[in-house]
Structure 1
């Protein structure tokens, strides 16, 4: 498999779907919002964007299966599977806040080998494939060289439907506020990840995540020289429901800061 060519074709597909999303966003009717669950929004734009992605990706790699947020195709491949979030940041999108993206990753077994995160509002296409480096619009990117947490900007996401660990999370946030340049909450885990890869922030952490939230961005972080883990230990960041991403230099400090307050037994 030519991962370089596959990555180039994936970027073209993501850009096309992103252009559709942005066009629909210009005149989006909020009365068309649906609720999948408490504070879990979806629209026809999410669904149609996913349908477009599945159709084109099926042509690109016929033997691959799919793990999709909106359930357009749930057929699993024996080896390869596309992990798709057609519109990461749906709540932002439905409120006309221009912070959202298309995110796609390709799993080879349990390993992400190709990924793309496309922001149609800034026309930024972040991409990577295994062993090929990380890029934004074909320009190489790398993580920040900030040496310590005190020199760092940290991104996170807030709980929006499962509030069982809210108090611990607030305590963790308080510690990061006191130890860093600050906390940012953009509302798109995929963009948080690629911003770490591009050196725009030094770290990102969040829990209650789904595979489609992070699959596209994790390989971009890795290929940009960053580090990934679960909150308190190494582990599966795609299916593990939680993630710490960093420039590597501050990773231990981030885990130690989380460990101060996080629920026992979350390793």
Structure 2
């Protein structure tokens, strides 16, 4: 058996997201459960950063585009921009909506967007993924999000991740903590990998590091309660910030996939590093996130699988 294969008895990755009957029904179903998370504290929050307010407005406007065509893939023009990487006019239209909202308020700011690339500007740069989880969206699988971050002179300053199906708005700004719909977030307080629930992303677009990834996976599934691969890195990071996942790791992400989520985790008391334990995760896209003790335990399991081809 090739070294990268994992037996079905060993691979404990489950996709336990129930398909929602309707968008409205999904929101009603979750309305009564949001307050139950032990990591989501019902406390009054300070006034929202004005830039966060604009990012929230942009995310809500873009969500109207996503919801209009959700579960209507048959009417969309879908193309493949890379191996197993799809794009439709929904991605492009939602991105344009976000850019228009941001440009109206901040016309001189730079923009880095997944579909339209880089737009020159000043020392402020918005980092946008209008639809993180496009493949899920096109299949009607209810796990996708809008991600908007802002950097000033290269440093992350704010982030917004919005799940329009559940109407969950995750927001953060540097030094102000992380919120879910105005409730304070905190990463889980798990002490190690025993009993931990982790999130990950499979290397289905780039197989160069398949062997190393599967080695990491084999190490981690032997120590944890389970591993999930829902398909939206932005939401995975948000779930780490909310304590729904104890930790997360992935290789080869793009900056727009997780810039907002990385700040959410840090502001919720967690740790985010590259897979070597350094600070270059936005550059490399190889990342580990979690509560501090879970993060460090994951790092110890992952480091032995680094080599000259795959480093921090």
Global fold match (TM > 0.5): yes
Equivalent residue for 1:69? Answer: 114
Q: Please state if 1:120 is matched with 2:167.
A: no
Which 4+ runs in 1 deviate beyond 6 A?
Answer: none
1:171-250 counterparts in 2 under 5 A? 171-250=215-294
1:143/1:224 contact within 8 Å kept: yes
What is the match of residue 159 of structure 1?
A: 203
Secondary structure class of the residue paired with 1:29: helix
Out of 165, 169, 172, the position equivalent to 2:213 is 169
Distance 2:163 2:292 in 1: 25
Residue 45 of structure 1 is matched in structure 2 by 90
Contact persistence 1:30–1:94 (CA under 8 A): no
CA separation of 1:150 and 1:30: change in aligned 2, threshold 3 A? farther
State which of 52, 57, 61 in structure 2 corresponds to 1:16. 61
TM-superposed deviation, 1:169 = 0.8
Deviations 1:183-231 (A, max 9, x none): 1001111001010000001111111111100111111111111101000
- 1:33 pairs with one of 70, 73, 78: 78
Rounded Cα–Cα distance in structure 1 between residues aligned with 2:124 and 2:280:
17
| Structure 2 alignment gaps of length 5 or more | 1-46
- What's the CA shift string for 1:111-166, capped at 9, x where partnerless? 11010000011110001001111001111111001111113111000012210111
Distance 2:304 2:106 in 1: 45
Are 1:142 and 2:178 matched, yes or no?
no
Change (3 A) 1:30 1:38: farther
Alpha carbons 2:73, 2:139 under 8 Å: kept: no
Q: 1: distance between equivalents of 2:53 and 2:145?
A: 18
Contact 1:3 1:114 in 2 (8 A): no
Structure index of larger Rg: 2
SS of the residue aligned with 2:302? helix
Match of 1:57 in 2: 102
Q: Which runs of 5+ in 1 are unaligned?
A: none
User: TM-score, normalised on structure 2?
Assistant: 0.82
For residues 241 and 159 of structure 2, the distance between their equivalents in structure 1, rounded to whole angstroms, comes to 13
Cα distance in structure 1, aligned partners of 2:293 and 2:53: 31
* Mapped contact 1:3–1:130 kept (Cα < 8 A): no
Per-residue CA distance 1:226-261 (angstroms, 9 max, x = gap): 101000121222222211111112121111111132
Report if the CA contact (8 A) 2:54-2:101 is conserved. no
Q: Matched residue pairs, number?
A: 265
Give the C-alpha shift of residue 31 in structure 1.
5.9
Q: CA RMSD in A?
A: 1.6
